[in-house]
Amino acid sequence: MNHQAKGLFITLEGGDGSGKTTVMREMEQVLREQGVEFVTTREPGGIEIAEKIRSIILNPQHTAMDARTEALLYAASRRQHLAEKVEPSLDKGITVLCDRFLDSSLAYQGYARGLGMDEVLEINLFATKGRFPDLTFYLDITPEAGLARIASSQSREVNRLDMESLQFHQKVREGYLLIAEMYPERIRIVDASLSKEQVAAEIRRQLSVTLKDFMI
Ligand code: TYD
């Protein structure tokens, strides 16, 4: 078992249908092979209180939800998840793999919903007390290809944000690409239109390099 003073905080981002689940499995596999202790979690959710907030946000019947309410609920669920699960794990030296984190709010609420990335960043900095991931993979794919994948996978529930227009999902992608420019050290863009095997190989390569850098 390798030892680190602090766990690594790794997040995974991508538009709907970008293949995050498959990539998460690959990352878990790499960490297991390298003997890194880790937990896998997701946003919004990951712990009871945050899962409850998630069910309010994503309920397809909640069409009346105001954009700022949505942004605040994501931030609230993020705070609870961070305080209750992510930070205690990192402090124990456990690496955390998280499906979505604050970049989702910047892309979806800040950019695509038009609330403004700066304002959404501000409420998120309050929620996270400035905590950023050590490494973020953004799985980049056109919304057309992403949504086609969702349509073909019957196992996945349809949530309120899936029901948004193609134009909304295009804005989400534009937002992510802008965020990746804002944080070039932290965010790696991965071409998610490639085959599953090619995407997995790229993730494996990049994650291995980062692990080497962080290991004592
Ligand atoms: P989920 O079912 O987890 O979708 P996915 O498999 O694509 O991750 O639903 C999460 C939805 O919430 C997804 O549409 C993205 C959206 N979201 C935001 O809009 N802002 C956020 O801060 C987060 C964390 C998620």
Sheet holding 187-191, edge to edge: 38-42, 95-99, 9-14, 135-140, 187-191
C-alpha 44 to ligand 1 mean position (Å): 7
Separation between Cα atoms, residue 155 and residue 172, nearest integer Å:
23
Tell me the best of 102, 104, 149, 163 to mutate to test the pocket of ligand 1, counting ligand atoms within 8 Å of each CB and taking the most: 104
- Which residue in this structure is represented by tokens 């124990």? 92
Whether the CB-CB separation of 6 and 88 falls below 8 Å is answered with no
**Tokens representing 145?**
């290809």
Assigned token pair, 209: 């390099």
pTM: 0.93
* 138 compared with 157, residue with greater pLDDT: 138
What are the backbone angles phi and psi of residue 95, rounded to the nearest 5°?
-75, 140
The residue contributing the CA closest to ligand 1 atom 23 is: 104
The reply to whether ligand 1 has any atom less than 6 angstroms from the CB of 41 is no
Question: CB atoms < 10 A from the CB of 59, how many?
Answer: 12
Q: How far is CA 213 from CA 40, 61, 160, in A?
A: 21, 46, 39
CA of 5 relative to ligand 1 center, distance in Å: 31
Least confident of 7-21, 121-135, 151-165, 180-194: 151-165
8 CA to centre of ligand 1 in angstroms: 22
- CB atoms < 10 A from the CB of 207, how many? 24
Residue 50: which of 70, 76, 13, 68 has the closest Cα?
A: 76
* Whether residue 70 has its Cβ less than 6 Å from ligand 1: no
> Using 50, 70 and 90 to split pLDDT, how confident is the model at 156?
low
The answer to whether residues 138 and 176 touch, using CB atoms and an 8 Å cutoff, is: yes
Confidence check: pLDDT of 3 > 60: no
Q: Which atom of ligand 1 is nearest to the CA of 102?
A: 22
pLDDT band at 150 (very low <50, low <70, confident <90, very high): confident
Region 12-36: what's the mean pLDDT? Answer: 95
Which atom of ligand 1 is the closest one to the Cα of 160? 14
Q: For residue 191, what are the β-bridge partners?
A: 140
Q: Considering only CA atoms, which residue is closest to atom 7 of ligand 1? A: 16
Is ligand 1 within 6 A of the CB of residue 13?
A: no
